[in-house]
């Protein structure tokens, strides 16, 4: 097929294939996945995919039974092994009326993936990463709890970024303001104690741990099983929770990288440096409470001989934190 573009004689699928920095097939049907896996090139899309040397990202969206069909799954595995990228569909209501995995992801999620593929390689392939996020809730009674302002967005951004760069993620979260994406292996751990148990159980399995969660420093000495009825003033007795990060610092395995977070309202650098020492951390990401809670962030990353200030969206800052960690571990080797 020869087509004229801008007056030049050109072969359209080749010019498209050469021109693209990234080819995104969204939504990717079972048909186009199957065609590519079989090397079929019989129309503009399939010939462009076969002809391009740019990375190719498929965003499958289809009926749940079609998505789960073993032929489709085998095609996805085959293409993944050949270096094609896939973004997992989300769980939810599908166009066909069914509910399940196969739904077209949110545009925001697709844009995260595209931005990452344009900038990064799969440099975290083979890495196991644990990310904690969110605000703990310590129950006073069945109705009330003590919590903090953390939204969990920074932890989510780190988990997403690391996932797209090829890492296997465990995402342990307390209360977060957004749903965790389907493709993350997530566990809910609402209280500081639940977070402690979930994290410590598996800590030795991870290459990098991002302790982004805003874990409560205090919990109720005794929470009430029944709703407390109002009467006179109420005094609550609080006791310290276990410091998970400090325990991780003590148990740190060889080559494991431990990253702590610190939300400070004053003396940001000084306080953060003390936490690195006290908790045996490799890095600490300190942010000023004045700019927390928003989509953009300002973070000071400190490590051995390292001090970098990062400003931008949580997603771009997350990528830069990962870059810093990878660069400094490369230098060590």
- As annotated, the active-site residues are 96
Token digits for 42? 């019989």
> Could you count the other beta carbons within 10 Å of the beta carbon of residue 315?
22
Instruction: Find the binding residues for ligand CTP in span 121-180 (CB under 6 A).
Output: none
Name the residue nearer to ligand CTP (CB basis): 36 or 292: 292
CA distance 162 to 208: 10
Q: Least distance from C-beta 294 to ligand CTP, angstroms?
A: 19
- For residue 209, state whether it binds ligand CTP (rule: CB under 6 A): no
244, 286, 300, 310: which one contacts ligand CTP (CB under 6 A)? 244
Answer for the pair 214, 263: CB distance below 8 angstroms, yes or no. Answer: yes
23, 32, 79, 245: which one contacts ligand CTP (CB under 6 A)? 245
Under rule CB under 6 A, how many of the chain's residues touch ligand CTP?
14
Task: Kindly indicate which of the ranges 15-23, 40-48, 207-215, 225-233 contains the residues binding ligand CTP, using the contact rule CB under 6 A.
Answer: 207-215
3-state secondary structure 14-37: HHHHHHCCCEEEEEECHHHHHHHH
- For residue 243, state whether it binds ligand CTP (rule: CB under 6 A): yes
Task: Kindly indicate which of the ranges 49-57, 89-97, 109-117, 238-246 contains the residues binding ligand CTP, using the contact rule CB under 6 A.
Answer: 238-246
CA distance 28 to 305: 46
Question: Alpha carbon of 214 to those of 24, 124, 248: distances in Å?
Answer: 36, 25, 15
Task: Kindly indicate which of the ranges 32-40, 70-78, 220-228, 260-268 contains the residues binding ligand CTP, using the contact rule CB under 6 A.
Answer: 260-268
Q: Which residues, in sequence order, are CB contacts of 294 under 8 Å at separation 6+?
A: none
CA distance 146 to 163: 31
Q: Contact residues for ligand CTP (CB under 6 A)? A: 192, 211, 213, 215, 217, 241, 243-245, 260-263, 275
């Amino acid at each position: 097929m020869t087509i004229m573009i801008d007056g030049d004689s050109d072969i359209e699928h080749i010019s498209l294939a050469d021109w693209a920095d990234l080819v995104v097939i969204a939504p990717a049907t079972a048909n186009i996945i199957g065609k590519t896996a079989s090397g079929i090139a019989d129309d503009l899309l399939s010939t462009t995919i076969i002809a391009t040397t740019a990375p190719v990202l498929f965003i499958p969206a289809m009926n749940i039974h079609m998505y789960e069909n073993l032929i489709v799954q085998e095609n996805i595995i085959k293409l993944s092994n050949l270096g094609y990228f896939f973004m997992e569909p989300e769980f939810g209501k599908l166009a066909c009326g069914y509910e399940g995995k196969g739904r077209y992801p949110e545009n925001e999620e697709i844009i995260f993936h595209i931005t990452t593929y344009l900038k990064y390689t799969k440099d975290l392939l083979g890495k196991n990463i644990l990310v904690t996020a969110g605000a703990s809730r310590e129950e006073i009674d069945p109705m009330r709890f003590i919590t903090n302002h953390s939204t969990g967005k920074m932890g989510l951004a780190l988990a997403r970024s690391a996932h797209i760069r090829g890492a296997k993620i465990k995402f342990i979260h307390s209360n977060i303001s957004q749903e965790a994406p389907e493709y993350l292996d997530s566990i809910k751990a609402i209280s500081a104690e639940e977070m402690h148990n979930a994290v410590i159980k598996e800590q030795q399995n991870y290459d990098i741990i991002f302790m982004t969660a805003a874990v409560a420093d205090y919990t109720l000495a005794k929470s009430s099983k029944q709703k407390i009825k109002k009467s006179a003033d109420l005094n609550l007795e609080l006791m310290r929770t276990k410091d998970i990060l400090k325990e991780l610092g003590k148990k740190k395995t060889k080559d494991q990288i431990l990253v702590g977070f610190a939300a400070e309202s004053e003396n940001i650098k000084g306080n953060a440096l003390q936490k690195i020492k006290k908790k045996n951390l490799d890095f600490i990401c300190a942010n000023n409470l004045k700019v927390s809670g928003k989509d953009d962030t300002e973070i000071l990353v400190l490590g051995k001989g390292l001090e970098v200030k990062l400003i931008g969206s949580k997603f771009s800052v997350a990528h830069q934190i990962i870059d810093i960690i990878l660069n400094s571990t490369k230098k060590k080797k």
